[in-house]
Amino acid sequence: MTQMPLELDHVGLALNDLEVGRQAYEKLGFTLTSRSIHSGSRKPGGPVEPFGSGNHCAMFEKGYFEVMGLTDPNLHSSAKVLLEKYEGAHIVAFGSGEAENAYRVLLSRLDGVQPPRRLERDAAFGPNDEETRRAAFNNITVDPAVFPEAKLIFIEHETRDVLWQPHLMSHPNGAVSIAEVALCVKNVGETCNKLGKLFGIDSEEAMPGIHAFTLPHGNVYVLTPNGLNAWTPGIEPPAVPFVAAVGFGVKDLHATKKLLDNSGVPYNAHKYPAIWIAPEHTCGPVVSFIQT
């Protein structure tokens, strides 16, 4: 079988107010990129046009995290459809190498895989934002009628140097990677079957009722609302399915806790060397910090 590289590339929020998201994640100790406005093609092969959304990103040695929000409600944005469901984490993206090859592989594995679409945005470049450069991506998505659990993307980066700038990868909270993402669903087996076909690997039971896919970089958890409550007690899903949680690897968990204490952000202990923060402080998902 034709193969493709695969790793957890990024997780993204969809918010009504981008500024609220920026403030929340800076308070959590992330260094965020300057605001960048999206543009792209609405249809495969279509012209690139301005979109009514923008983002700030937290870049890591491995992967990144996107805080996306509306900037002009009069323009097209894929965020609008997401926000009709709930405000919070929606985007789960996997690095999959060259887009045309990835598309052929994915299409052979599951119905509903969409042809690559080009997405571009201007990004500030340099330690003092002294330049503006164009970031370009080719995104393969899965029809939400087939996979409603998340906005699933398989991505080819054409301009990695524009995004992964060295000065952006130092974070006060010590984050060095995007380590995991969790999907809360009604039927774990059904979701794992679809993801297993796309990934070309099987999941394993990580805890009772919670399954995990272990990728070369990053873990993907699939759990039910009961599993979510066992993992992070008291969290109520805004909808099912939804992207419930995102985890970041940190260099020194003790230092991360100290930063959160100084910022007045409460946190809870996991049963392993990690802590988690409730959705009211994160604009939607449970956020975990995990000792690398």
For the chain, domain boundaries: 7-168, 175-291
Tell me, what amino acid is at 260?
L
Q: For residue 221, what are the β-bridge partners?
A: 182, 212
pLDDT digits (tens, 9 = 90+) for 52-108: 888 999 999 999 999 999 888 888 888 899 999 999 999 999 999 999 999 999 999
What pLDDT shows up at residue 104? Answer: 97
Q: Which CATH class is domain 7-168?
A: alpha beta
What pLDDT shows up at residue 227? Answer: 94
d(C-alpha 87, C-alpha 160), whole Å: 28
What pLDDT shows up at residue 2? Answer: 54
- The yes-or-no verdict on residue 30 having pLDDT over 70 is yes
Give percent of the chain above pLDDT 70: 99
Q: Which CATH class is domain 175-291?
A: alpha beta
d(C-alpha 173, C-alpha 262), whole Å: 11
pLDDT digits (tens, 9 = 90+) for 166-203: 999 999 999 999 999 999 999 999 999 999 999 999 99
Cβ count within 10 A of residue 202: 11
Asked if the domains 7-168 and 175-291 are classified in one and the same CATH topology, the answer is yes
Q: Side by side, which strands form the sheet with 268-269?
A: 204-207, 210-214, 219-223, 175-184, 242-250, 286-291, 274-277, 268-269
Six-digit token string for 16: 């009504």
Strands 286-291 and 242-250: parallel
SS3 assignment, position 230? helix
- The yes-or-no verdict on residue 238 having pLDDT over 80 is yes
Beta strands in the chain, from DSSP E residues, in sequence order = 7-15, 36-40, 49-59, 64-70, 88-95, 117-125, 131-141, 151-157, 175-184, 204-207, 210-214, 219-223, 242-250, 268-269, 274-277, 286-291
Give the mean model confidence (pLDDT) for residues 145-159: 97
Q: Identify the band that residue 1 occupies on the pLDDT scale cut at 50, 70 and 90.
A: very low
The candidate with the shortest Cα–Cα distance to 159, out of 118, 104, 106, 218, is: 118
